[in-house]
Amino acid sequence: MIIDGDVEHNGNQKTIGKIEATVDVIAAGVSGKSHPHSGVQSGGSNSGPPVPSGT
Ligand SMILES: [Fe+2]
């Protein structure tokens, strides 16, 4: 099914498959594409993987 236009609903959403976005995904105000990490020093190394928040 393809829907043209914005979609919004009240309530939770769960999927068995993956969720894709060509632009970005914003979770509680945090961009999945571009966000800083705390507790790491800048440099040439990569940070570790994200830590689950338990929510
Ligand atoms: Fe991250």
Q: Tens digit of pLDDT for each residue in 12-55?
A: 999 999 999 999 998 888 888 888 888 888 899 888 887 776 55
CA of 36 to the centre of ligand 1 (A): 7
CA of 38 to the centre of ligand 1 (A): 10
CA of 2 to the centre of ligand 1 (A): 30
CA of 50 to the centre of ligand 1 (A): 6
Rounded CA gap, 41 and 28, in Å?
Answer: 25
What pLDDT was estimated at residue 54?
59
**Beta strands at 26-27 and 30-31: parallel, antiparallel or unpaired:** antiparallel
